[in-house]
Structures are given as C-alpha cells and as structure tokens.
Amino acid sequence: MAAMDVFLDRLDPDMCVVTAAADGERAGCLVGFSSQCSIRPVRYCVWISDVNRTFRVARSADVLAVHLLARDQRETAEVFGGLTGDDVDKFGRVRWREGYGGAAVLEDAEAWFVGRVVDRTTGGDHVGFVLEPVEWGGREPAAGPLLRLADARTVRPGHPVD
C-alpha cells in the first residue's frame, strides 16, 4: 500500500463544504473527495463519510449545496471540518441563507451551487451523492486561490476517520 500512499499524497484537490437540510435538520461537513462526473448533462459527485452527521441528514435530502472556500477562509473550514454537528450548531457560526429546495447556502463562500440529488452510490466508507446543479453563485471578484487539501491537512476531523 505504500506506493498508493505516495500517489495519493501527491494529489491536492480543492476542498469544499457540503451542506444538507432535511426533516427540519441542517448539517454540513468539509469534503475532500468531489468532482464533476459528467459533461452532458452536467453532474457533480460529492463523497460524504458514512460516520458523520452530514451523511445522516444528506441521505434524506433532495438537494445538497456545495461550497468552494478561498484559502483565507480557513476558519469556515475549521467549523465544518473540525466540529461535529452532534455537539455544536455550525450554522450559528457562519452567515447562511436558505436556497433552492431549502438548501443551506453559505453566504461567504467563494463559489457555490445547489444540486438535486439524482443518485447515491456506496464507495467504501464514503457515499457518493451525484448532483444535478439547479442554482449557483459566487463572490465577484474572486478572493484568490481556493482552499486545497494541503491547506486543510491540520484540521482535526470532528468524527473519527478510521
């Protein structure tokens, strides 16, 4: 497995915050696994750990919101990556509004979209949510470089990763 670790350590994907709202609950987490997965039609997949609260809310949600953060938004990354919604109200610590379908949209995100969940797929200890974008926005002008995995490596997960 050491060779695979060397390969994975070289990747430095953009991080995003995924939020979910369903059945009167809101949740959100910092996500390192996400990607566009179709051109026509446009589809985007976010992978959420099956041990955290965001997964428990997302599995009942019709839409999810995906947010890109600028490197200078590390505090927001800490809220959504280092705290658990089981213990704190993350949304009480950030500016947010309700978007399409009741999605929780972070107002200070560098860029964001709300996507309708069109499929869910298991991929080991994460579940992939395939999204069809239905609403989007962002800050203009752009604040700068996006938050990447290398920038967030020191965020201690709110839930165990093993």
CATH code, 124:
2.30.110.10
Q: Which two tokens stand for residue 53?
A: 């609260």
Angle CA 76–42–48, to nearest 5: 40
In this predicted model, what pLDDT tens digit does every residue of 113-135 receive, in sequence order?
999 999 999 999 999 999 999 99
pLDDT digits (tens, 9 = 90+) for 40-70: 999 999 999 999 999 999 999 999 999 999 9
* Cα distances (angstroms) measured from residue 124 to each of 11, 118, 130, 140, 154: 19, 20, 16, 38, 24
> What are 146's strand-pairing partners?
70
> How many CB atoms are closer than 10 A to CB 44?
19
Task: Flag whether the pTM goes above 0.75.
Answer: yes
Per the structure, the count of domains in the chain is 1
**Is 74 contained in some domain?**
yes
Collapsing DSSP to helix, strand or coil, 19 comes out as strand
For residues 85 and 46, the answer to whether their CB atoms sit within 8 Å is: no
Would you say residue 93 lies in a domain? yes
Tens digits of residue pLDDT in 85-115: 888 999 999 999 999 999 999 999 999 999 9
